[in-house]
Amino acid sequence: MATYEIGQSGSFTKTITEADVVLFAGVSGDLNPAHVNEVAASQGMFKKRIAHGMLGASLISAVLGMHFPGPGTIYLGQNLKFVKPVAINDTLTATVKVTSINDKGWLTLDTTVTNQDGDPVIKGEANVIPPK
Protein backbone atom coordinates (compact mmCIF):
# COMPACT_ATOMS: atom_id res chain seq x y z
CA MET A 1 0.00 0.00 0.00
CA ALA A 2 1.38 3.39 -1.03
CA THR A 3 2.08 6.01 1.61
CA TYR A 4 1.51 9.69 0.91
CA GLU A 5 2.78 12.74 2.76
CA ILE A 6 1.91 16.43 2.88
CA GLY A 7 4.14 18.27 0.41
CA GLN A 8 4.62 15.38 -2.02
CA SER A 9 4.24 16.56 -5.60
CA GLY A 10 4.33 15.60 -9.24
CA SER A 11 4.33 17.43 -12.55
CA PHE A 12 3.90 17.06 -16.30
CA THR A 13 5.10 19.41 -19.07
CA LYS A 14 3.68 19.76 -22.59
CA THR A 15 3.85 22.31 -25.39
CA ILE A 16 0.35 23.18 -26.61
CA THR A 17 0.33 22.87 -30.41
CA GLU A 18 -2.04 23.91 -33.17
CA ALA A 19 -3.00 20.25 -33.52
CA ASP A 20 -3.82 20.02 -29.80
CA VAL A 21 -6.19 22.99 -30.06
CA VAL A 22 -7.92 21.70 -33.21
CA LEU A 23 -8.28 18.18 -31.83
CA PHE A 24 -9.56 19.47 -28.47
CA ALA A 25 -12.11 21.64 -30.29
CA GLY A 26 -13.34 18.58 -32.15
CA VAL A 27 -13.46 16.29 -29.14
CA SER A 28 -15.05 18.85 -26.81
CA GLY A 29 -17.36 20.51 -29.33
CA ASP A 30 -16.03 23.91 -28.19
CA LEU A 31 -15.61 25.70 -31.50
CA ASN A 32 -15.49 29.17 -29.94
CA PRO A 33 -13.85 31.50 -32.50
CA ALA A 34 -11.37 32.57 -29.80
CA HIS A 35 -9.83 29.11 -30.26
CA VAL A 36 -10.37 28.23 -33.92
CA ASN A 37 -10.76 31.42 -36.00
CA GLU A 38 -7.71 33.67 -36.35
CA VAL A 39 -9.64 36.59 -37.87
CA ALA A 40 -12.39 36.60 -35.24
CA ALA A 41 -9.89 36.03 -32.43
CA SER A 42 -7.76 38.98 -33.60
CA GLN A 43 -10.74 41.25 -32.94
CA GLY A 44 -11.46 39.77 -29.52
CA MET A 45 -10.21 40.35 -26.01
CA PHE A 46 -6.84 38.61 -26.47
CA LYS A 47 -6.11 39.83 -30.04
CA LYS A 48 -5.06 36.31 -31.10
CA ARG A 49 -6.24 32.73 -30.85
CA ILE A 50 -5.85 31.12 -27.45
CA ALA A 51 -6.01 27.52 -26.30
CA HIS A 52 -9.10 26.26 -24.51
CA GLY A 53 -8.86 26.75 -20.75
CA MET A 54 -9.91 23.15 -20.21
CA LEU A 55 -7.14 21.95 -22.53
CA GLY A 56 -4.62 23.46 -20.14
CA ALA A 57 -6.56 22.11 -17.17
CA SER A 58 -6.49 18.63 -18.67
CA LEU A 59 -2.75 18.54 -17.97
CA ILE A 60 -3.67 18.39 -14.27
CA SER A 61 -5.57 15.19 -15.02
CA ALA A 62 -2.50 13.87 -16.83
CA VAL A 63 -0.37 14.44 -13.73
CA LEU A 64 -2.88 12.82 -11.41
CA GLY A 65 -3.62 9.83 -13.61
CA MET A 66 -0.17 9.11 -14.99
CA HIS A 67 2.51 10.61 -12.73
CA PHE A 68 1.39 11.39 -9.18
CA PRO A 69 -0.39 9.69 -7.52
CA GLY A 70 -0.48 7.81 -10.84
CA PRO A 71 -2.43 5.04 -12.58
CA GLY A 72 -5.49 3.97 -10.62
CA THR A 73 -6.14 7.42 -9.14
CA ILE A 74 -9.83 8.32 -8.93
CA TYR A 75 -10.46 12.03 -9.60
CA LEU A 76 -13.25 13.18 -7.25
CA GLY A 77 -13.33 16.90 -7.90
CA GLN A 78 -11.49 19.99 -8.99
CA ASN A 79 -11.96 23.73 -8.71
CA LEU A 80 -10.17 25.95 -11.20
CA LYS A 81 -9.35 29.60 -11.71
CA PHE A 82 -8.11 30.63 -15.15
CA VAL A 83 -5.69 33.47 -14.42
CA LYS A 84 -3.96 34.04 -17.77
CA PRO A 85 -4.64 32.95 -21.37
CA VAL A 86 -2.62 30.16 -22.96
CA ALA A 87 -1.24 30.86 -26.42
CA ILE A 88 -0.65 28.21 -29.04
CA ASN A 89 2.97 27.00 -28.66
CA ASP A 90 3.09 27.88 -24.96
CA THR A 91 4.84 25.21 -22.91
CA LEU A 92 2.79 24.38 -19.85
CA THR A 93 3.78 22.59 -16.66
CA ALA A 94 1.03 21.21 -14.46
CA THR A 95 2.07 20.61 -10.86
CA VAL A 96 0.11 19.00 -8.05
CA LYS A 97 1.10 19.09 -4.38
CA VAL A 98 -0.50 17.25 -1.46
CA THR A 99 -1.98 19.70 1.06
CA SER A 100 -4.04 17.31 3.17
CA ILE A 101 -4.83 13.64 3.67
CA ASN A 102 -8.10 12.58 5.28
CA ASP A 103 -8.71 9.58 7.52
CA LYS A 104 -9.60 7.43 4.49
CA GLY A 105 -6.25 8.28 2.85
CA TRP A 106 -7.88 10.51 0.24
CA LEU A 107 -5.77 13.44 -0.93
CA THR A 108 -6.40 17.14 -1.40
CA LEU A 109 -3.87 18.71 -3.74
CA ASP A 110 -2.97 22.24 -4.72
CA THR A 111 -2.95 22.35 -8.54
CA THR A 112 -1.10 24.90 -10.64
CA VAL A 113 -0.41 25.18 -14.36
CA THR A 114 2.39 27.56 -15.35
CA ASN A 115 3.66 28.69 -18.75
CA GLN A 116 7.24 28.69 -20.03
CA ASP A 117 7.89 31.99 -18.22
CA GLY A 118 6.81 30.50 -14.89
CA ASP A 119 3.61 32.55 -14.87
CA PRO A 120 0.57 30.78 -13.42
CA VAL A 121 -2.17 30.32 -16.01
CA ILE A 122 -4.47 28.03 -13.98
CA LYS A 123 -4.78 27.56 -10.22
CA GLY A 124 -7.00 25.26 -8.23
CA GLU A 125 -7.46 22.39 -5.86
CA ALA A 126 -8.20 18.72 -6.57
CA ASN A 127 -9.54 15.86 -4.48
CA VAL A 128 -8.56 12.31 -5.36
CA ILE A 129 -8.59 8.76 -4.09
CA PRO A 130 -5.03 7.57 -4.67
CA PRO A 131 -4.26 4.05 -5.84
CA LYS A 132 -3.63 1.51 -3.11
Q: Is the pLDDT of residue 130 over 90?
A: yes
- What is the model's pLDDT at position 1? 63
CATH number of 8-129: 3.10.129.10
Q: Is the pLDDT of residue 20 over 90?
A: yes
Q: Is the pLDDT of residue 17 over 90?
A: yes
- What is the model's pLDDT at position 2? 81
What's the burial of 50, exposed, middle or buried (CB within 10 Å: 0-12/13-18/19+)? buried
- What is the model's pLDDT at position 132? 86
Q: Is the pLDDT of residue 107 over 90?
A: yes
- What is the model's pLDDT at position 5? 97
Domain spans, the chain:
8-129
Q: What is the spatial distance between Cα 96 and Cα 8, in angstroms, rounded to a whole number?
A: 8
Q: What is the spatial distance between Cα 62 and Cα 55, in angstroms, rounded to a whole number?
A: 11
Per DSSP, what are the bridge partners of residue 10?
Answer: 96
Write out pLDDT tens, residues 49-70: 999 999 999 999 999 999 999 9
Write out pLDDT tens, residues 69-81: 999 999 999 999 9
Q: What is the pTM of this model?
A: 0.94
